[in-house]
Structure 1
Amino acid sequence: MELRHIRLLCLILEHGSVSAAAKAAGLGQPTVSQHLRSLEEELGLLLFERRGRRIVPTEAALVFHPYAKQAIQILETGRQALEEHLGLVRGKLRLAGSTIPAHYILPAVIASFHDKYPGVEMRLQVGDTKWVVERVKGADVEIGFVGAELDQDGLSFEPFAQDELILVVPPDHQLAGHTLSLEELKKLPLVSREPGSGTRKSWEEHLRRAKVALEDLRVVAELGSTEAVLRAVKAGMGVAVVSIWAAKDEVMRGELQTVQLDLGTMSRTFFLVRHKSRPLSPSAQKFVELAMEGAPLGKPP
């Protein structure tokens, strides 16, 4: 049974005549009549009675009609799913991430996604948390990954990974491996991220709980990237509070040392941010699923 024959049957029933169905299908009337005869022969049933220039559906046609429509609808749904699939494997995916997720967590997710869907062209933009949230809100990207949850109407923030803030010092620093009080920290030169950074926002929240403001500390520089902060510390400019994701390799190589603050463990959560009212593209939805499945929701490294 051919799909085109079923479609034409439905068109004849819905439009009331072969000529109207032919016009709707963009075919000649003789062609439609021939297709109808082929369907009747295959079914072994008369679907229409000819009464002069008019045709009248038989009871068999009326019984068959809802099933024919259902078959067409199911196939149409399948076609849409295939189109989504083709859009997925050949489409473009726009992402944005703040420094730590973009540099240290997302590359592995992107590589895994590329293995599954090599036809998707991905673009990852990097900025601070505030900038990423603005990109999502303005529909410049579909999904963002940030280091802090901001108060933004219309956006949802879903936890997807954990982080820990640590205090790092140069390897030859006299305090390396020691525990430091906040009063002692106030005397040390501190290198900080810029306002708008998720790392800075989280660090300020931990300080606030201890009734200390960042302004109470001896900030000697505000730098626009975590890499710049780490380089400044290694160069001896001062100490810094950074993500363990960013500093772990330098610490393992002995290029930096950690100092325990008496604030306890300074943990934070990374968030996946998306617009509540905008449906995700198929590629974005698959990326979200993969990120949530593969993200390190337990302890950071």
Structure 2
Amino acid sequence: MDKLLYLIFLKTLTYMPTPQEILIGKHPAKPNFFAEWLDFVDEAVPAADLNKKHRKLSEVTGKRGLAIKSIAKYLLDHHVDPKKLERAKKRKEEILKKYKLKSFEEYLDTQTYFPKAKNTRNGNTAEVILSNYLQVTSGLSLLAFKLTYNPNVDQAIKGDDCLLFDVKDLTSKVIVGEAKFRGRSPDNKAIKEMIKNLEGAKKLPISLPFISQHFTSIGDENMAAQIDDLLYELITGKVNVINVGLIISTKSTNRGQDAGQQLDHYLKTTNPNLVALSLGIDDPDEIVDKTFDEAYKLLKAAVK
């Protein structure tokens, strides 16, 4: 056997997954978007604090444009019911004639598909990134796009930021996540609050009644019943619950301005099933502003 191949073979025999990989899976591989956009490091877990599990994410140079286009698609998926889009498309000529509009964009602007409030946009972007990243790493699924059901798009909707299930066996594993976005600096208050919201009783999902009602409303009583049963089994401690926190903020050589360094410094938890993710990038506000602009372009294209 070739020496190099033999060394690779030996390495595969001795490879041990990181604690982060055991809980949430490996960082995505190319050609997946997240592998193209983000590098990662699973920080070593210190022997003195085995609950300190940190995956540090960083943006690959030159991939900002790819990120904007890809995240914009996620924003559209999460915020806009495709049935509503299809209905608008079918009624386009009727609407233009009825309201004597020069362009259909005038009508779309009144429909409030996306939030305009900056804080809501920031939070929604972080939630969407976290949910889609973890779907790739864990293989679990999002059962309902909660942002679609927000009665006031400019206010943050209540519920779990991220809630993923194993659709083959709902009681085998659940991921509950919380996402924070801080465009100016990754303040320790946000990090501590994020961790606190994923410990103790707060580590369990709060959105299951909504998920159950969602399936009831679409006529899937079997899935609704499974969600009802899952709520009981979660409360009685029979389900493997994994918690994930994500903070998106700035990057810097100065610890106080760097998401990764700040999270590493303040990460302390009583939850052994928690993985904390940090994403430090240049000008994080640009990601939010430009992805929502791009999402609106996708919206307009969808109803042409």
| TM-score of Structure 1 vs Structure 2, range by shorter chain | under 0.3
Task: State the TM-score, normalizing by the size of structure 2.
Answer: 0.20
The structure with more strand, counted as a fraction of residues: 1
Task: State the TM-score, normalizing by the size of structure 1.
Answer: 0.20
Instruction: Give the structure with higher Rg (CA).
Output: 1
